[in-house]
Amino acid sequence: MLISLGPQAFVPVTPVFLVGTYDEAGRPGIMPAAWGGVCSTQPPCLAVSLRRSRWTWRAIQHRRAFTVSIPDRALAGETDFAGLVSGRSEDKFRTLGLTPCAGDHVDAPYVGECPVILELQLRHTLELGSHVQVVGEIMDVKVRRDCLTSEKLPDAGAVDALTYVPLAQEYRSTGEFVARAFAVGKTVKRRGGEERQ
Ligand SMILES: Cc1cc2nc3c(=O)[nH]c(=O)nc-3n(C[C@H](O)[C@H](O)[C@H](O)COP(=O)(O)O)c2cc1C
């Protein structure tokens, strides 16, 4: 039996993105964003949704660029802290002892300690209500060498990305391998009108 929880901003798990920007004064900042994900393959794009009150939103409007650094489980404390304090009043990179590295392709900093980095150029914004959706074109993806397989593919197990569980307000790390995508479906037997057991 399914129990209705009503209309809620909920899926069982979301990514945790550390959105990196330079503000108008050129100070680097980060904030975690859980409302976001990849939204186009060609051109490659990613969207995050931000409240208008975020210092980060102001910085993105000014510089028209941002980065997304993907934290691993070891960075849970730093990530959470960055969500409790605003860059308006505190240099979070400095407080947390994190390294602001200048983007190679966009005017925004990324977190040197994170295993996966995306550099994004602002392309679109969409007013949604409480949040503005910010769509960036992915100009580059960087993955730490030890998080690549021998075929140079990102190794999700090695990245050990932090994820977020809305409503329960928990961090979890990326789950274990289940099956290969676009492959396991081919082994499924078509059931037609058969009843599920
Ligand atoms: C796990 C987590 C996820 C968050 N996701 C979002 C989000 O998707 N959008 C948003 O506007 N704020 C989100 N926040 C809140 C901001 O990160 C927080 O208000 C932060 O202090 C803003 O920093 P800034 O003012 O320096 O931009 C989240 C906070 C946490 C801890």
pLDDT of residue 195: 67
Establish whether residue 83 lines the binding site of ligand 1, counting it when its CB lies within 6 angstroms of any ligand atom: yes
Task: Tell me how far apart the alpha carbons of residues 15 and 116 are, in angstroms, rounded to a whole number.
Answer: 12
Q: Measured between alpha carbons, how far is 16 from 170 in angstroms, rounded to an integer?
A: 11
86 lines ligand 1 (CB under 6 A): yes
**pLDDT value at residue 197:** 60
CA 29 / ligand 1 centre spacing (Å): 12
Is residue 35 in contact with ligand 1, taking CB distance under 6 Å?
yes
Q: What confidence score (pLDDT) does residue 94 get?
A: 97
pLDDT at 174: 85
- The residue whose CA has the least distance to atom 30 of ligand 1 is 83
How would you classify the pairing of strands 14-15 and 36-40?
Answer: unpaired
The closest alpha carbon to 81, from 16, 133, 144, belongs to 16
Instruction: Answer yes or no: is the C-beta of 115 below 6 A from any ligand 1 atom.
Output: no
Beta strands 36-40 and 45-51 are antiparallel
Domains of the chain: 14-187 (2.30.110.10)
User: Which sign does the torsion angle of CA 165, 125, 78, 15 carry?
Assistant: positive
- Residue 164 has a pLDDT of 96
For the CA of 53, the nearest atom of ligand 1: 25
Q: Which residues pair with 102 in a beta bridge?
A: 109
| Tokens describing residue 183 | 């492959």
CB of 17 sitting under 6 A from ligand 1 = no
Residue with tokens 């904030």: 31
* Strand spans (E) along 128-194: 131-143, 162-165, 170-173
Ligand 1 atom closest to Cα of residue 21: 27
For β-strands 28-33 and 17-22, DSSP reports them as: antiparallel
Instruction: Profile the chain (197 residues) by mean pLDDT over runs of 10 residues.
Output: 97 97 97 98 98 98 98 96 96 97 98 98 98 98 97 95 96 88 91 71
Contact between 88 and 56 (Cβ < 8 Å): no
**Alpha-carbon distances, residue 28 vs 156, 174, 182 (angstroms):** 28, 28, 40
